[in-house]
Structure formats: C-alpha cells, structure tokens
Structure 1
Amino acid sequence: MKRTIILSTISVLVMLSPSVMASIEVDTKVSVVNKEADLSKTVNLIVQFKDKNIHKALLANPKTLAKLERKAKADNVSLISLKKTYNVQSNVAYEYGMSSLKSLSEKNSIQFEHVRSMSMGADVVKVTSDSPIALQNLIVELINSGDFDSVMVDDVVKKMNFNDTLYNQQPQFKQPSPSTGDGQNFEAMRNKVVNNLGRKVRIGVVDSGYAPHEDINPLVEGYDFTQEANDKYLEAKTRDADPTDLSILADGLSCHDGHGLSVAGLIGATSNNGLGVAGAVDSEEADLVYARVLNCFGDGASSDILDAVAWMMQEEVPEVPTIAAPVDIMNLSLGGYRIAGCATYEQAVYTKARDKGIVVVVAAGNSNDDAKTFAPASCNDVITVGAISRKGDKASFSNYGDNIDVMAAGSSLWMIASNEYKTQELYFSGSGTSMSAPLITAAAANLLLTHPTLTPDQIEGILSANGQGSKPGSLCAQLGCGKGSVNVSNVMDAIPNLLTSIKYEKKHRYEGYNSPEQKVWLDKMNHYASVCNMVKYTWGNLGTELSGVEYKLYVGSNDELVYTETISTPQKVLSHDKDTLVGVQTCKNGTCGSVVQMRGNITSPSSCL
C-alpha cells in the first residue's frame, strides 16, 4: 500500500498512449497528452460535476429509457423496477442535465456531448480539440472554472504482455534456490491452506474476459464492459452479461485475445487432473468472476475498467445490474503510461475498494521504467507487483521504483491459451508483470481462505513481510523492487508460528542516505535528534498489527535486558549507541514466546562515519 501526500486537491490527467508527450503543470500535478494521437476529431473525458444533480439527471437518458422500455415490455415487468435494477433511477429530470450541459458548453466555449454515466458520480463526455496543447488548455480551464471536481481523459489502456503435465516447469511452485531464483513455494503454500471462510473465495479478473479451456472451470459469473461502434466489427458492441472474450469482425472472422484466460489460469487452473498446468489456488476453493474490459485486440478504456472495478465491489454502475455479491480480491494485469500518476477519481475508486475490504492487485508494467508514471500501478490502496527473472533479480522488462510493493515470478511461465477461437496450442510460455500479479492475487486468496478476518492492509503487510529483499548490487537493489519476491510458504506460517519466529532485521534508519541533498537534510535533522544513532528494527513474518498480538521490547547490554515497553506493531525505531542490545518477545492473547535478541551490524550513512 503506497501512501503519498498530494498537495493539489484535483488531479488533472491527460494521456492517450505511451509516446512522446507535451506537458503542462497544474497545481502539483502534470497533464500529459500524446503528440502522435489524433485529437482533431473527438476525445472522451471522465468528469465529476460539482453540481451532483447533473449526474443524477443524466442517468436516465432517452436511449437508455428506450432500451429499458423494450425490455420491460418483453419481460412483462415494470419500467420502475428495471430502472432500479440497472441503477438509473433518479428524481432529477433529464432536461435539467441537458440544460446544464448546454450552459457549461456556452460558459467554456466547448461543445459537451454526454456519452454515458459511470459509477461513483462520474460521467463520460465527448469534446473536440484541434491539438494536444488545445486539449491541455481546455482541461486546465475546466478545472479552474469551478464546475468540476475532477477531469481526466478516458485513456486507452492495454494488457501487459508477456500431476499436471507441465507442473515441473512451473517455477513458482518450487522453493527459492540458486537454480530457481524465482521460486515462491506455492506447492507448500497450497498444502497449508485450510478453508475457514466457509465458502469459495471470490476472485475478480478484470481483463479481456472469459474463454473456455480444458484446464479452467466453466464460467460462473461476469460482465462485459466493453462498448465500441466502429468499422472493425460486424456490429456495434454494447455492454452485456456475457464476458466471453470474443468479437466478430467486419469480415466475419472471429477475434479473440486470450490474455484474461492466461491470467485466470495462473490463479486457478484445475490441478491434479493430468492436464497442462496447476493454478496457484485450488480451483475447488475459488470462483473466478470475469469483467471483460479489454477488446479482442487487447485495448480498453479507463472508464470501462473503473466501472468494472466499481461493479466488482458492489457499487452501482449506471445501466449495469449490480453484482449479487462483491468479490474478495481483484486482479488487474493491465495499465497505461501516466506521467502524472493516479488521477483523483481513479484513486477514489481504489480507495473505496480497500475501504470495503477488497484486496486489489495490479501489474507494475513492462516498460523497464519507474512505476510512478503508470496507472493503476502508481495508485494507493493497491498491491503493485513487479516481475523477477529466473535468476531472482528484476526481470529486464519489469517496471521498478518506490511504487512497487512486492515481486513475483514473471519470466517464461507456462500458462493456458484458448484454441476455441484461434488455431494455437492450449499451453504456452510467456513473460510479463501480467503473469506476476496473478500469483500475488492467488497468495492473497490462499491467505484469506485460511484467515478470513484479515483486512486488505493486514494481507498486504503479511505478503510484504515475507518478501526476500534484494541482493546487494542487484538491479532490484539499485532501482527498487519493494520487499522483493514473496516466499508464500512463509506467508502461511506467519500467524501459526507467531510465537516461535526468530526472523528479524536490524538496520540504520537512514541507511543509504549518502547523496549531497540527503547529507544536508541529515545535518539539519541532527539539530533535533541524534540521527546517527537511529536504528530500525523489524521482526517476525507478520508485518502488520493483528488483534490480540503485542510485542514486549527489552533494552540493555552484555546480555542483560530490561523491559521497556509493549507495542502492537512489529517494528520500532530506537536511538541508542552501537553497544546497546535490543530484544523482542512476541505475545498472543497473553501467551508469550522467548525473547529474541536482535543482534547484527548496521551500515550508517556516510555523514555518520
């Protein structure tokens, strides 16, 4: 979970694809557009009106009403009940919304055309622009007008490319070792899972949709959020309850992507069936819920993705029936380049998911770049996952940086592919952070099955605490890979072995603060506290607060430790000299383990030497 302080109250984001960009600063955020994109015709914007009645008025537009009236007549049900089912009920007249749009158009000298309503009070509107700079200026003007809470471009988002017969070729199931640097011990993890949830765990796959396969369970539930009307397809595509990854092109040929199927297989392919690969979650313990947001060419719109995420957490999405029950975990192996990072509305959606107790796992991206310029990888309240190579270091393609939370295997992994609509093999080997994210999604699912009261923050904390870190001099050490590749077997041991764990880390609080700017900062800080004596201790495999668990700290020297305090988090920064000895005793519901002495050398910043 990444927590950053945003100084501006509104994020302004203009981005169409990862090419050369022009930028303009608005408050503390940067807007970006693609110079190569054709903006001379139309551009869709995702907006939140300051006047909330505009959104309410536009919910029941004539086109939607006509569709619902036909359905009401065909199904012999009332129009009122259908409005409620499809989340377009409103007590504000449609005319009010249209007149407000007209007024806003006149005020801002731009023609707004309402495309559709979204979840959480947002709308998609169509505008025209002659150039990228003109679009930038327009968005700045809209923000400054005071009529909008947020404005962002409806970006094109792309997939992140990448006794079962192939089981021995799945490195994620093996233990980490010099020969399997990307081993994550999923075999041991699966053997430790006990379903205490009382039902199947519900895992949302927000991707290219469902496809049938010999090694995946049949479709249980899903929805198709894609909607397109262009000459590529035989007929216009509208949203519906069939998330199958299939479209018919204008020439009559079928078009199928398969990315979502591969992601789903990494999570929950059927195991012990004598076929292909094994999923990281027992397929008998999980229901996969599919949201199709990428078309058969692997492209999708941010508005469709955000609506799908909202739908998965049981929020009302206009013109889409509300899901019967929310998912427990979502996987998004997709994203796009965003120099400004996560937009305001986008962040609100992911924060709402975490607040509702849903774990969201996202891929870091495959551009070998800092993840801070990609979304949703740069958003808070998600678990951002990078890929490691077979040698255990950052994969050459994987994004990196402070926004990475953990890493997982993502190089040459065997996965499933559908030959239902294409002539291809049923199994193939591929790479990408799209392959890494599903493994962490599966790890979170196994943990939740066994310990169903855990919150998203706690699940992320346990996963992070069991990251294997970075080797000195590695790409991960230089560029940033979060807590590193997760040993998922240790994840399952974190709670049962709480009182007997002897794992700890002792390091200087400001280790690595050696740049000229950091030295100046440390010198200033030294006027308020003795920064050179600050040591950070972390211990155990839990990495988070847990009800009934507390830690007693002891401080002393020459093996004579004296109790000092009791805390609830498994980490502490202390200021002491180099000869001081610190110990910790873990207690759960009044029962305590042994005192663990946390010894070891530390590396101080150069200004302290």
Structure 2
Amino acid sequence: MKVFMYLWVAFCLCTSAFSQDLIYKVKEKLTEKQSRRLASVMNKFEKVDKPRRFKKRHHKASRFAKKLRLKKREFRKTTSVKSQIETLKQTGLFDYIEEDTIEHEIAFQVNDPHADRQWHHSNIETLGAWDFTQGSASVVVAVCDSGVDANHEDLQGVVLPGYNFVDDNSDSSPSTNHGTQVAGLIAAQTNRSGGHGIAPLSKILPLRITNDGNTFLSTIVECIEYAADNGAKVINVSFTGINSNAVQAAGEYAKSKGALLVYAAGNQGRDRGSWPDHQDVLAVGATTEKERRSSFSNYGHFIDIVAPGSNIYTTSPNNRYSSVSGTSFSAPIVSGAAALIYALNTQADPSEVEKFLIQGTRRVGDEFSFGAGLLNINESVRLAFESWQTPPPSQDEPTPNEPTPMTPSLYVEDISLTVFYSWSRARTEANILIKDNLGEAVVGAEVKVDIDGEEVIAITDSNGIAFFQTEQKSRNHRFIYQVLNVSAPGYQYQPDDNLETNANIRARRRFWFF
C-alpha cells in the first residue's frame, strides 16, 4: 500500500494546554510487521478536529494536514518535543519529522517610495522577452501570501477569486501590504499608472495564508497543494520555511500537477550551507542594481538563481506604490519569468521551464552566493521559444476571472470502525465516508471493500457514508478492512488522494467478574 500522507501531531509538553505541532511523512512501502508497529505508535494519538481552518470544507481535504493529539494517558511519558521526534525517527517508519514552525513574510520597506522606479526591468531584460510574449490568461500564478488588492488600478482584471486559509472563506483581500506588492511584480498592467509586472497578461490566484505576516509552516504546505490542485502553473511563496522537508514534498507534488514552486531564500543574510538543496523548489536569492548579492539575502548551495531584490518599486494596497527590498520580491520576479515561458507552451513540464530559467542566467559571481546566476528573462524566453519553435496548439482558455476547473474525482475521507461484543464473540461495523475534490459528500457512490478476504459492496447514503458490518467472530480476532474501489457516474476515483485506505481493529478478550 502506498502511504503518502502528511499529518499534524500535537505533542503536549506537559499536562497544561500548551502543545507543539509536528509534520511528518510515513514511508511509502511498509511491511506487514512495520504496518502493525505503525498502528501501535498511532494508538498513542487520537483524532481531533482541525481548529484553525477548513471547517466549511471549501475544497478537498488536505493530505498534508490530518491532525492527531497525544492521548492524556501518555502525557506523563512525554519529556520534550525533541525527544519525541527522536523516538519516532528511531522507529524507521517515517521519511522525516519536523516541527510545524511559525513562518514570516520576508521584506523591508524603503524610505523613498519613488526611488529607482523599476530598475529591475532593464537589469533582467524584460522588454526583450516581450517580443515573444507578455503572458497568457491561461497561465495562473498562485500567490501564497497575505492577500491581494484586486481593485488596485494596476491589478484590475488580473486577480481571480481566491481563498483564505486563515478564516476558511473566500476573502482574499490584503491583510498586509506584502501580497499586493508581490502580485504587482508578477502581473501589474502596462497602463502607465505606476509600474508593470513581468507577465501582465497572466492571472493571479490570491491565496491568503496570514492575517499579520506570520503563519504556520503547515499552512504554507497546504497552500502549495491547493494551488497545484486548482490549476496554477507557477506557485510563489515569499515567506520563510524554504529549508523544510515538507516544503520539498509539496514542491514535488506541485511538479506532478504541472506547477513550478518558486520560493524566496530568506533575509537573514547568512551562510546557509547546511540547508538542503531541494530538487523540486526553485530557491531565489536577491541582488542589487550593481549586480551584487543583497546584504540581507541568504546564500549557500541551496540557491538556484538570483534576481533583483533591493529597492524594488511595486504596487501596494489602495492604489499606492512603494519601494521595497527582500528576497520576497526577487521570487515573484522569477515567478513572472516562469509565467512568460509557460505562456509559450501551457503544457510544458515544470522541470523544462526551470531548465530554461537556469540556462538563460548570466554569471555574476560564485555558485554558493548566486546559484546558476542572475535571471535574464529575454534569454530564457528566447531559449524556450527556439526550443519549441512553433508553440503547440493551446487548449481552451478558462473563463476570465475563474480558476481553472478541476476534474471531478472521489476519495476516501475517513474509515470509522466500532466493535460490538456478545459474550465470547464479537462483530464490527464500519462507516466509510466518501467525498469529492470539492470536499462535498458523494451520494450513491459504490464502495467495494475487502473485509477479512471477502469482497463486499455498499452504496453511500445521503451523508456520503457507506455502511458495512461483519459476522460474529471469536474474541481476539483482528478485523481488517481495505477499500478496493469507489465508483460513481461522472467521477473518477483517485486512490492516491485517500486520507485512509486501510483500517483494522482487534476484538480484545475480556474477563468478567461477578
């Protein structure tokens, strides 16, 4: 069985209300013995409702955010988060385990709002790239940030309906200036209002992950997944957290959906030589107008490419403009360049788009500080154009101001087992919840399940639940349920999206005293 699931685990450091969340990934191929051991480990936890978001299930439940909490009886055994992580690592059941840290926007405001107006365009040769393309409405760039001002004079008609991960609603209006500043660098219009983006004909999908500039790492990971599932070709993250293994896994997932993840390198100005060089995350450092590394830009082997990031002029909420600095603004410049390349071929593989970005760079220093080099949009777009020559026929563009539609699909949301005892025997009942890719319960779906080696079929009711029950067995019998298939007219079953596929429970022997 392929296990590909990210879970939140609340480790209580003591018997008080304080807890620490973790993100981990279970190894994909476990032996039967390892599966039993995993079940034993997970028995120390209990399922709880996710308190911060997704209460209304506006979209498919995230495989990255299933939450468990250490049971009260285990509190006294808990020493520290670090020791719990090490204990779980030693089981050999997990690819990685890490804390769900709080991440931050990475930007600085510059005093003079009109300084060096958009010098970056000449530095990276934006106008030369426009001889080939200015973008396409079929190319959606997701901005995982603080929301975007869709009414800004330079962003009108560019911003699609978005999503708010903090408040579980569609309010993607700006909570800070940061998201609007990022979006303007990608797709501000060429209307002579104040500045223009790299790919002004592309669309912005605003995904709000913060109300105050801070957010959980898990929220960033969920945002990346949501963007990939909702048709984004480029996903921009201008927050800290690039060194996370969960971010790499989310980037890998995005690539599998045809999207390129572009991530800011961070503003601590430190040697990050110990950070992993994630293969599925395009890490972007910052440079000055003189093509030197910006003093605040992190550096190390993980850097893939650099782009202008000091004194960058861009949009701000309420029809304002400002000059800002940070790798937060280098990343969207690269995201805009990626959007131009996708506009030449909307079916391009993300790795191919990244290849053209890297090949088009100009060497300005050593790889440790500058990666492959400084972004040159003109050269990257030219290379892509010449490689593809005549772009392949484009598919129908999505309706303006609407996200790219998703193919209706089915997945297993939950398997709930209950044991019923009758003197020396026991039986089980199971409720299996089926949902679609919008997070809605599916009525009338046929669910085929293997129960102790016997195939059984049931139909979901008005609540999307298929009911199963077993015959009585002797006590101490282990009842094993495995979902084999789910089908319904007009839907496609996606077993890789299942939050649960297998479940088992043992009917324990009990001793009675009279």
Common fold: TM-score over 0.5: yes
Residue of structure 2 equivalent to 1:360: 261
Distance 1:244 1:143, change over 3 A: same
- 8 A Cα contact 1:347 1:380, kept in partner: yes
Residue of structure 2 equivalent to 1:331: 236
Distance 1:131 1:478, change over 3 A: farther
1:298 aligned to which of 213, 216, 227: 213
Q: Does residue 434 in structure 1 map to residue 328 in structure 2?
A: yes
SS state at 1:334 partner: coil
Distance 1:51 1:454, change over 3 A: closer
SS state at 2:155 partner: coil
Q: Does residue 268 in structure 1 map to residue 187 in structure 2?
A: yes
1:171 aligned to which of 108, 114, 119: 119
Counterpart AA for 2:170: A
Residue of structure 2 equivalent to 1:42: 19
Q: Does residue 259 in structure 1 map to residue 178 in structure 2?
A: yes
TM-aligned CA deviation for residue 352 of structure 1: 1.5
TM-score by length of 2: 0.61
Deviations 1:119-168 (A, max 9, x none): 23642334598999711111222333467665332211111113xx9797
Distance 1:244 1:144, change over 3 A: same
Residue of structure 1 equivalent to 2:350: 456
TM-aligned CA deviation for residue 435 of structure 1: 0.6
SS state at 2:283 partner: strand
Residue of structure 2 equivalent to 1:115: 50
- 8 A Cα contact 2:147 2:172, kept in partner: yes
SS state at 2:322 partner: strand
Structure 1: how far apart are the matches of 2:116 and 2:77? 54
Residue of structure 1 equivalent to 2:156: 217
- The 5-angstrom pairing of residues 239-258 of structure 1 reads 239-245=168-174, 256-258=175-177
**Long gaps (5+) in structure 1:** 1-8, 15-32, 34-38, 53-99, 175-182, 227-237, 246-255, 315-322, 420-424, 471-475, 500-609
TM-score by length of 1: 0.52
Structure 1: how far apart are the matches of 2:268 and 2:288? 15
- 8 A Cα contact 2:341 2:353, kept in partner: yes
- The 5-angstrom pairing of residues 124-273 of structure 1 reads 124-126=67-69, 134-145=80-91, 150-162=96-108, 169-174=117-122, 183-193=123-133, 199-211=137-149, 212-218=151-157, 219-226=159-166, 238-245=167-174, 256-271=175-190, 273=191
Residue of structure 2 equivalent to 1:505: none
Structure 2: how far apart are the matches of 1:266 and 1:277? 9
TM-aligned CA deviation for residue 205 of structure 1: 0.6
Distance 1:149 1:461, change over 3 A: closer
- 8 A Cα contact 1:159 1:299, kept in partner: yes
SS state at 1:467 partner: coil
Distance 1:159 1:194, change over 3 A: closer
- 8 A Cα contact 1:159 1:294, kept in partner: no
Structure 1: how far apart are the matches of 2:321 and 2:79? 46
SS state at 2:131 partner: helix
- 8 A Cα contact 2:64 2:221, kept in partner: no
TM-aligned CA deviation for residue 354 of structure 1: 1.0
1:493 aligned to which of 382, 391, 406: 382
TM-aligned CA deviation for residue 348 of structure 1: 2.3
- The 5-angstrom pairing of residues 385-534 of structure 1 reads 385-419=284-318, 426-470=320-364, 476-477=365-366, 479-495=368-384
More helix by share: 1
TM-aligned CA deviation for residue 492 of structure 1: 2.3
Distance 1:276 1:373, change over 3 A: farther
- 8 A Cα contact 1:46 1:124, kept in partner: no
Counterpart AA for 1:386: G
Structure 1: how far apart are the matches of 2:76 and 2:99? 15
Structure 2: how far apart are the matches of 1:166 and 1:367? 25
2:228 aligned to which of 288, 302, 313: 313
- 8 A Cα contact 2:78 2:84, kept in partner: no
- 8 A Cα contact 1:13 1:153, kept in partner: no
Counterpart AA for 2:258: G
Counterpart AA for 1:171: W
Higher mean displacement: 450-459 or 42-51? 42-51
Residue of structure 1 equivalent to 2:203: 287
- The 5-angstrom pairing of residues 530-545 of structure 1 reads none
SS state at 2:206 partner: strand
TM-aligned CA deviation for residue 347 of structure 1: 2.6
- 8 A Cα contact 2:7 2:25, kept in partner: no
Counterpart AA for 2:244: C
SS state at 1:494 partner: helix
Q: Percent identity?
A: 27
Residue of structure 1 equivalent to 2:477: none
Structure 1: how far apart are the matches of 2:162 and 2:274? 30
- 8 A Cα contact 1:406 1:485, kept in partner: yes
- 8 A Cα contact 1:369 1:398, kept in partner: yes
Distance 1:439 1:103, change over 3 A: same
- The 5-angstrom pairing of residues 63-142 of structure 1 reads 108=44, 113=48, 115=50, 119-120=62-63, 122-126=65-69, 134-142=80-88
TM-aligned CA deviation for residue 300 of structure 1: 0.6
Structure 2: how far apart are the matches of 1:160 and 1:119? 26
Counterpart AA for 1:257: T
SS state at 1:384 partner: strand
Residue of structure 2 equivalent to 1:342: 244
Structure 2: how far apart are the matches of 1:492 and 1:201? 15
SS state at 2:379 partner: helix
SS state at 2:80 partner: helix
- 8 A Cα contact 2:301 2:367, kept in partner: no
SS state at 1:350 partner: helix
Deviations 1:9-58 (A, max 9, x none): 99x999xxxxxxxxxxxxxxxxxx9xxxxx98111223456899xxxxxx
TM-aligned CA deviation for residue 113 of structure 1: 4.7
Structure 1: how far apart are the matches of 2:27 and 2:304? 34
Structure 1: how far apart are the matches of 2:94 and 2:375? 42
Equivalent residues, number: 358
SS state at 2:185 partner: helix
Distance 1:481 1:149, change over 3 A: closer
SS state at 1:480 partner: helix
Distance 1:138 1:168, change over 3 A: closer
Structure 2: how far apart are the matches of 1:41 and 1:168? 48
Structure 2: how far apart are the matches of 1:360 and 1:130? 42
Deviations 1:222-259 (A, max 9, x none): 11111xxxxxxxxxxx31122222xxxxxxxxxx3121
SS state at 2:50 partner: strand
Structure 2: how far apart are the matches of 1:102 and 1:456? 37
Structure 1: how far apart are the matches of 2:282 and 2:69? 32
Structure 1: how far apart are the matches of 2:363 and 2:369? 10
Structure 1: how far apart are the matches of 2:127 and 2:79? 53
Deviations 1:179-219 (A, max 9, x none): xxxx1111221232176x6x531111111112232221254
TM-aligned CA deviation for residue 301 of structure 1: 0.9
TM-aligned CA deviation for residue 358 of structure 1: 0.8
- 8 A Cα contact 1:385 1:436, kept in partner: yes
Distance 1:478 1:291, change over 3 A: closer
SS state at 2:343 partner: helix
Deviations 1:527-570 (A, max 9, x none): xxxxxxxxxxxxxxxxxxxxxxxxxxxxxxxxxxxxxxxxxxxx
